[in-house]
Structure 1
Amino acid sequence: MPEIVIETRRHDLGGGFEVGRVLPFRKCRSVGPFVFFDRMGPHDMVAPIPLERDVRPHPHIGLSTVTYLFEGEMTHRDSLGYKQLILPGELNWMTAGAGISHSERFDGMRATGGRLDGIQAWVALPEEYEETKPSFVHYNAFELPVMREEGLWARLIAGSAFGLESPVTVHSPLFYLHMEVSMGMRVPLPRAYPERALYINSGKLQIQGQIYVAGQMLVFARDSLPDVMAQENTRLMLLGGEPLGPRHMWWNFISSRKERIEQAKADWKAGKFSLPPDDNTEFIPLPETMA
């Protein structure tokens, strides 16, 4: 049985664009190095998509953002000058380190609309890498390793699992997979990591007679070997790794030190973060309070 079951909570990013927030949770602040997990959708975006739905430039420190889509598309721009269209099955990995800003906009879907569904996760950096130089990489779907077995398909997005290794450079041991499981098949979990969880995007799972449904994240105890069975065709995200220790989080900032969070807040408010070169006419102001 899972040690913790986390239900998705609705959260408005502004302009009416809602996500399903899973991590952090009061009883589970992280799973391995994963400190944040948002389900973006599924949304049927009606054309023309208003600019208010876009995620305007905003800052990050001390983490890597991991954006992965099932449907739709988004355009990433960052203060390093990268502009990247994100399509389903691709990996968009931005390491903030000492500080970066970026935006996520619906340029390609604005005139036509369409369905959007995906996940954005944040991976905290070990203390020795928290102030590393910001960087950005992108991998197409065909560049990421895939596992195929009877009734099961999985793409390894990051880290290593099941004998596969993702090409993206990570700063601590972790795994992150997109998995499709047919009805009646068992769901494998990597055994080499102390913290593991799965998120149900669609479908149903059964563990020891208990049914779990879409929108739930199941966090498993260390060294447990759960017998997880798909009750219908099911789409999952598997994630976990080695824990990094306590982290402070405020808005978009992650750090092992409270004073570093305060410095980042002051720097954003004072305009000391660079903005994306071709998206620098607006930004999200520093919140006065956090809910």
Structure 2
Amino acid sequence: MENVSRGTYLENPSKEGFSGIKKLELKDYFLTGEDFELYEDSETGVLYTLPQPIETLGKYYESKNYISHTDGKKSIFERFYQIAKAINLNEKLKLIDKISSGKKILDYGCGVGDYLEMMQKNGYEVLGMEPNDSARRIAQTKIGINNVVSTQIEQIKDKFDVITLWHVLEHIPNLNEVISHLKNHLNENGILIIAVPNHESYDAKYYGKYWAAYDVPRHLWHFSEKSMRKLFDKFGMKIENVSPMKLDSFYVSLLSEKYKGNKLGFLNAIRIGLKSNNQAKKTGEYSSLIYTIKIKS
């Protein structure tokens, strides 16, 4: 495989310092059709997208079809997403009620605010961060204008009992810097909860370059459980628990069938989603995983 030096990696303005070998050639099937490549970092095993168009990244989100920035329910994908979101919201509440000893939550990349709205109604003190203007405005109507901000995390003085990133970490350009700030904004015994796609899942391997959760270049980083453990170990943090997001295999498979050009791929998407979850019962390699992370004592 082709080797990539740190010098070549200067295509990425964030200069995260990763270097490794080429793993896969991909396209932006969602929006532009542009070509991208995945490389594997030699130290952590994290996969990263090249090139990373940091200065122009916003244009890759400029679509009315980008579901996490809307409350749309028109297309089959939007309807499935909203159903899955509603189910997942209840699971998130159960998880946090179970593991958190405090009520102060920061949601980093809160989207349109449904999760924070639910947490607020259940007695939590909430703050959301969302850079996208349209998504932030929607979230502010749900939980209050002062409870959703666009500011950078280093500008926030408070510390939190729980910080959550629901399918957000893969989007962040300055990965190392943000992880460091997240750690510094946790209270003593605070919990960091991160959900990300898992490229070691069966559906990822089945769809290959068409796997919708690669979503280049919006997804700048791509994780497995092994690479997540190595990455957070660098910051003196430990993954204490890993749990699945079982509905993601179906949604991702449905989109992947679309990217393959299979207009009648609904049934196959269901089949692959079921098979992925069934295999993951033995391997633990679900399509998306939730990591519960604490600072090492």
TM-score band, normalised by the shorter chain?
under 0.3
Task: Give the TM-score normalised by structure 1.
Answer: 0.26
Higher helix proportion (structure 1 or 2): 2
Q: Quick check: which one's strand share is greater?
A: 1
**Higher RCO by CA contacts (8 Å cutoff, separation 6 or greater):** 1
